[in-house]
Amino acid sequence: MESRFTFTEVSQNIEEYYGVCPSMLQKIGVFTIVWGMFESGLELTVLAVAKEEMDKDKRPSTDANNVTNLIKLLREKSIQLEETVCNVSKIMCDAVDDLLVLRNAIDHGRIVPGKPKRGIGFINNPTWLNVERKRGITEVHLTDQLLEKSIEAVAILHECSVQLQLFAGGLGYSAEWVVELASEVDRARYISSVVKPSHTTLQSE
């Protein structure tokens, strides 16, 4: 008996029931991969900016930290950088904070049925039977264009993170480099502010 859970069956079911066209599925996949590239290199960026020496017999201070904590550490450690580079790092962190909400909704949320070509929705941390939740409820609506812009923003952040590693390691710096990097990260920040979910309901303490 042929499985009902092959790639073809599952993707067709998602397309038919949830209204997700193949191009949207492809872009969600690209977004997830690019985010993984950024996230996997973020720890090295924090270590480089902090100028922490690596020792094979000692765990790095960043070990087992999630993205939120790594961004917090990067904000703290970037203060010791030159002002112009510190500002770039700060803007990058602001953009990550916004895009992380989107990423969590996609990767950890539940897809909401929609209509083809009108976008799709995700809801993260929903409540049941009015139970209290620690985290707020996040609702996201994505279109083809928003996904494309989100991918662009995360790709910029990944490049910015790598460049910060190089700068912190003394492997390259120029006024032109800072201007170009600042321009790119400003664009990522603008995109992140546009795509950030606008419907977030916070639970009371």
Scanning the structure block, which residue is given the tokens 């030159």? Answer: 82
Supply the mean pLDDT for the chain: 86
pLDDT band at 173 (very low <50, low <70, confident <90, very high): low
What pLDDT digit, counting tens, does each position of 49-88 carry? 998 887 778 888 888 889 999 999 999 999 988 888 899 9
Q: Report the predicted TM-score, pTM, of the whole model to 2 decimal places.
A: 0.87
Is 157:185 a contact under the CB 8 Å cutoff? yes
Quote the pLDDT of residue 205. Answer: 34
Average pLDDT over residues 120-124: 87
